[in-house]
Structure 1
Amino acid sequence: MNWGKGIMLSIIGFICVVMTMVVISVRMDGIELVTDSYYEKEIVYQNQIDKEQVTLDQGKDVISLNSQKKVVLIDLPHGVKGTLHLYRPSDVSLDKILPLQGKENGKIEVPVGKLKAGYWKAQLNWEENGVAYYQEKKMTF
């Protein structure tokens, strides 16, 4: 075999590999956008950034995970209302949105043992004394 045939076989092999990858990518199921209303949410995203910055500035850390008990612990002050969004990036159909209200006797326990194991984001929005807050934690359970 000479150089010309070797180079030609290498090019043909490369083209076959690339075409195979393209066909596999096109046939993949389950490719989802992060959210259905992506463009509308992008417009109001600066509000989300502002709420997150206020939360960081005031040193509020209200979300934690207890892996042994398989619960997400939320520490909201008594009477404060919020919304917890358990967000699964790989499958939007598994998302859960839960309304919460702060308890006088301690932290709110949100059981996560029945959720599909894997990567989740816990996103909490709440308002306290007229100030809007937002915190997000990445969790694997």
Structure 2
Amino acid sequence: MKINWGTYIVIAFALFISFIMYFVVKVQSDSKYDNDLVVEEYYKHDVHFQDEMARIQNAHDLKSKPVITVDANGITIVFPADFVLNDIKGTVALYRPSNKKFDFQVPLSFTDSASLFIPKNKVIGGEWDINMEWKYKGKSYLTKEEIYIK
């Protein structure tokens, strides 16, 4: 039996489509391939984008800004000495881009010094996004920074 070249093209397309569908089904059904959004309720989050940009600009306009440093012991966030610590209210959110199960938040609370320390045992090695949101004297601020933990 002789097969026409058009039949070979149809067979090739069918095999290619089967190959692609196999991987689509495998990725969708296997929990190892987590394909969640980075932010829950993405569209609700996106509606407040202009407000977020205003808070980022407020933080950028500060003469003395909070400093985030990473060392062998953990993450240290130091506010400038001219800030009244009792007037600072907010949170520090640490996001792990590769796995949202490791995300957590820490309230901005200061005891004796103008620094907040997050120990290394709370964060695993790799890339982290830090979003620090705070209010000071009625004005809202937002600082976003990317860090890498060894």
How many matched pairs? Answer: 140
Match of 2:41 among 37, 41, 61: 37
Distance 1:36 1:105, change over 3 A: closer
Residue 9 of structure 1: CA displacement? 5.0
Q: Which residue pairs with 1:90 in the alignment?
A: 98
- Per-residue CA distance 1:42-64 (angstroms, 9 max, x = gap): 32232111100121233554242
- Match of 1:11, SS? helix
- Per-residue CA distance 1:83-140 (angstroms, 9 max, x = gap): 1111223333322111113465343221133323332211101122322110011122
Q: Which residue pairs with 2:116 in the alignment?
A: 108
Are 2:72 and 2:120, in contact at CA under 8 Å, matched by a contact in 1? no
Q: Which residue pairs with 2:55 in the alignment?
A: 51
Flag structure 1 segments of 5+ consecutive residues without an equivalent. Answer: none
Match of 1:119 among 111, 124, 127: 127
- Match of 1:14, SS? helix
Structure with bigger gyration radius: 2
Query: TM-score by structure 2 length?
Result: 0.73
Flag structure 2 segments of 5+ consecutive residues without an equivalent. Answer: none
Match of 1:130 among 135, 138, 141: 138
Residue 11 of structure 1: CA displacement? 2.7
Distance 1:59 1:12, change over 3 A: farther
Q: Which residue pairs with 1:22 in the alignment?
A: 24
Query: d(CA) in 2 for partners of 1:87 and 1:60?
Result: 25
- Match of 1:101, SS? coil
- Alpha-carbon RMSD across the aligned residues, in angstroms, is 2.8
Are 1:63 and 1:137, in contact at CA under 8 Å, matched by a contact in 2? no
Task: Report the identity percentage.
Answer: 23
